[in-house]
Amino acid sequence: MLILNRKEGESIIIGDNVEIRILEIQDGKIKIGIEAPKEITILRKEVYDSVVEENKNALSSEEDVLKFLSQK
Amino acid sequence: MKRVEKMKILTKYFGEIEILDDAIINFPGGLLGFEDSKDFVLIDMPGNSHFKFLQDIHKSYVSFVMINPWDFFENYDIELSDIELEKIRVTSLKDDNFSIYNVVTLGKTFDLSSANLIAPVVINNNEKLGRQIIVDNPKYTTKHPLLQEGLGA
């Protein structure tokens, strides 16, 4: 992992067209501005991780699925 | 015109079934966490029109229970970005052009079963292309109890 020190107002550039700017640092929170092409999906990692986990949960049901769903 | 071929696939819940190859829905990015699963068919749940299965045609154990969100959550309200929709070639918002489903996680009872409303599965019905899209809306999470609104309540 590349580790860089940045101060408020400073940026990093990734590739040709992604810029990440540190907008504000306060009380242990950092506000980040990201400029990137629209086709690049930007997500909070915990949201992405929660979806991956839930997809895995969805497959792991041990119930008799057909019998279960035919109750309704 | 492309010839439609029949093929046999092994499913998780219905054993071997025969499908038409024009029913195959391609997910170029797979589903999240299942990036290798790219080709699916939608199978109706016999006797219960509220549920479908999204079955990987190559891996029988990969079969997701799906719902039409509005059957259960009548106020489900999401915004899908044009950029995300363009990835499955949806360019107009005509009703018959694409469908939205949500993955269900079954629990011991219906009350303990939930739908993932933050990551709908969008399918372009004409092009047979699909994508799971995460919506950036704090109202929704990966677990909304199925009986919360709508059906049976």
Residues A1-48: tens digit of each pLDDT: 999 999 999 999 999 999 999 999 999 999 999 999 988 889 899 999
Residue B55: predicted pLDDT: 97
Q: Which residues of A touch B31 (CB under 8 A)?
A: 55
B152 band by pLDDT with thresholds 50, 70 and 90 = very low
Cα angle B108-B113-B117, degrees, rounded to a multiple of 5:
165
**Which is it for strands B121-124 and B129-132: parallel, antiparallel or unpaired?**
antiparallel
Q: Per-domain residue ranges for chain B?
A: 6-145
The chain-wide mean pLDDT, for chain B, equals 90
Could you tell me which chain B residue has the CA closest to the CA of A68?
B109
pTM of the model: 0.88
CB contact under 8 A, A71 and B110: yes
Task: Decide: B73 and B122 in contact? Cβ < 8 Å.
Answer: no
CB of A8 less than 8 A from some CB of B: no
| Minimum mean pLDDT range among A50-54, B25-29, B102-106, B137-141 | B137-141
Neighbours of A63 (CB within 10 A): 13
- CATH class, range B6-145: mainly beta
Could you tell me which chain B residue has the CA closest to the CA of A40?
B83
H or E segment to which residue A25 belongs: strand A18-26
**ipTM of the complex model:** 0.89
CB contact under 8 A, A69 and B151: no
